[in-house]
Amino acid sequence: MTPLRQRMIEDMRVRNLSPNTQQLYIDRVAKFARYFGKSPELLGPEDVRTYQVHLIHQKRASSSMLQQTVCALRFLYRNTLGKEWALPCIPTPRREKKLPVVLSQEEVSRFLDNLPNLKHRALIMTAYATGMRVSEVVSLRAADIESDRMMIRVEQGKGRKDRYVMLSPNLLELLRAYWKITRPTDWLFPGQRPGTHLTTKRVLQVCIKAGAAAGLTKRVTVRALRHSFATHLLDAGANIRVIQILLGHRSLRTTARYTHVSRETICSISSPLDQLSKAVADIQKLKTTDPVRS
């Protein structure tokens, strides 16, 4: 390990960045250095700009990868190397605003029916029933299930924040059946190697396989189930502030995007077309017209 990498890791630990964020930043900086074949200490703002252009035009990088790279390089140059030009000379790309993938309740049922493995079924049903992130679900311990209070403790979720989510009676019944059969001692959903939990990559593989088996055209991930959880709650009349707390969102604006995909929100008002009496009459006339004779 180079002294610069060690110093950056120490700086991230001092600022209490999550292990996932630390690894992500290190990976992004390593790719930047490999592109030029030099230490980042020997590179400057023009090199950063050249690399960003390379990611956009040659690599066709996604907006999330561009954002991650900017955050990693800003941290390196501003916090570890103390360069004043880090913020003004490393521009942040505009985020793409895409609607979340949401499954209907019927699609969720079909998806869950195609999870024959008990551990996988328990994990993914926990994700949908609580709206937890995949990293939060795989990190659950048996002690986090507080059945007496009908709550699940999410310890150190995104942003290093603890929170509680609801424990569905049906989910509790499933988890008890799962526990009696598997008897997990540490992690609720252990991995193949002793002392480890299931990886997020493995969960993604399970989701994709089950989604294909269910014949779903949508890409099913735990994130999609999280989006579906929030949207279904909104459709059922849940308070958006409560949904924000359950999801662990810092800003209500983040939660508000689910109003853009909520069927109840979108269909709660009539289209202006329905207010035009002549147009409605014309439509009714078309329904009664014989298409063969016309």
pLDDT digits (tens, 9 = 90+) for 42-71: 999 999 999 999 999 999 898 889 999 999
Mean pLDDT to the nearest integer, 157-169: 84
Q: Please tell me the distance from the alpha carbon of residue 253 to that of residue 257, in angstroms, as a whole number.
A: 7
Domain covering 105-265 in this structure, CATH number: 1.10.443.10
pLDDT for 294 beyond 50: no
Which residue type sits at 268? S
Q: What is the DSSP letter of 141?
A: B
> Which pLDDT tens digit goes with each residue over 10-37?
999 999 888 889 999 999 999 999 999 9
Q: What percent of the chain lies above the pLDDT cut of 90? A: 63
pLDDT for 280 beyond 50: yes
Listed by start position, the domains of the chain span 3-89, 105-265
Task: State which fold the 3-89 domain adopts.
Answer: DNA polymerase; domain 1 (1.10.150)
**Confidence label for 274 from pLDDT (cuts 50, 70 and 90):** low
Instruction: Could you list the beta-strand ranges (E) of the chain.
Output: 145-146, 151-157, 161-166
Q: What is the CA radius of gyration of the chain?
A: 24
Nearest to 188 by CA among 200, 197, 177: 197
Q: Cβ(230)–Cβ(99) under 8 Å?
A: no
Beta-carbon contacts of residue 272 (< 8 Å; ≥ 6 apart)? none
